[in-house]
């Protein structure tokens, strides 16, 4: 082999090694993520290891991410509750935050304008703390009319655009896809008909996981 060819292949080998080391570093640097949410985040009605946060962390670890996901979900919490405690959730060791709130606002028929203002406050505080946010929305029914549904779902889109954060538009998107319909996936729910069972959480995580992984990949 000529010295020129040898030099070329040597440089290629070095480049490949550099890319490999860079990729490894991406996954090796521990990331702490706080998941701010309600009972869907908290894992209501499930064994601890079967909840959303533990299953999400396990999924990310399997993908090669060194990540610690903190469960900041409180059952029954509204967007107002999330706003009241986001300050202490954004501790110095938190690198990123998942915000998944609004379900209890909908169940209580709270004006989407109020919910939007609360979520806006949460996102503003995260921005002020220089903590990137992954926003999770929720698709809802027409219990309060079509206008309410459009305003409720639309607030997530508007906030994501305003704050320039990634949006996963529907927490239950994976369940809807698995059920093959826009509504109705009772086989993946607990007897209360609201909260996902362990299998339902697994489906949710498998659907949402790749987008959260992409979000985390942008942090480095």
User: Are 157 and 167 within 8 A, CB to CB?
Assistant: yes
| pLDDT tens sequence across 51-67 | 999 999 999 999 999 99
H or E stretch covering 33:
strand 31-37
29-217 is a CATH 3.40.50.1110 domain:
yes
Contact predicate 178/185, CB 8 Å: yes
Residue 17, pLDDT score: 39
Would you say residue 160 has pLDDT above 60?
Answer: yes
Q: What three-state secondary structure class fits 32?
A: strand
Q: Which residues are catalytic?
A: 39, 192, 195
Structure tokens at 219: 């942090």
The stretch 89-109 carries a mean pLDDT of: 98
- Whole-number pLDDT of residue 180: 79
Task: Work out the average pLDDT over 9-37.
Answer: 58
Measured CA to CA, the distance from residue 195 to residue 17 in angstroms comes to 46
* pLDDT of 183: 55
Query: What's the pLDDT at 4?
Result: 41
Tell me the backbone φ, ψ of residue 37, rounded to 5 degrees: -165, -160
Rounded mean pLDDT, 133-148: 97
CB 114 within 8 A of CB 81: no
Domain ranges of the chain: 29-217
Contact 79/105 with Cβ under 8 angstroms? Answer: yes
Q: Smallest Cα–Cα separation from 161: which of 119, 115, 103, 113?
A: 119
For residues 76 and 66, what is the distance between their CA atoms, to the nearest angstrom?
30
């Amino acid at each position: 082999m000529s010295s020129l060819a040898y030099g070329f292949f040597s440089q290629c080998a070095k480049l490949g090694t550099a890319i490999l080391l860079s990729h490894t570093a991406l996954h090796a640097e521990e990331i702490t993520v706080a998941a701010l949410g309600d009972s869907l985040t908290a894992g209501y009605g499930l064994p601890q290891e079967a909840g959303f946060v533990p299953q999400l962390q396990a999924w990310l670890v399997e993908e090669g991410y060194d990540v610690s996901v903190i469960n900041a979900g409180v059952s029954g919490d509204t967007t107002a509750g999330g706003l009241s405690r986001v300050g202490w959730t954004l501790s110095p060791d938190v690198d990123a935050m998942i915000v998944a709130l609004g379900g209890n606002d909908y169940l209580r028929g709270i004006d989407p304008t109020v919910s939007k203002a609360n979520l806006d406050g949460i996102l503003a505080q995260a921005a002020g703390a220089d903590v990137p946010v992954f926003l999770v929305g929720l698709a809802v029914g027409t219990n309060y009319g079509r206008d309410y549904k459009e305003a409720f779902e639309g607030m997530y889109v508007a906030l994501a655009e305003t704050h320039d954060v990634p949006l996963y538009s529907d927490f239950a998107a994976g369940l809807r896809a698995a059920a093959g319909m826009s509504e109705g996936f009772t086989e993946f729910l607990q007897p209360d008909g609201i909260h996902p069972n362990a299998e339902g959480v697994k489906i949710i995580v498998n659907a949402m996981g790749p987008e959260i992984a992409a979000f985390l990949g942008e942090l480095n």
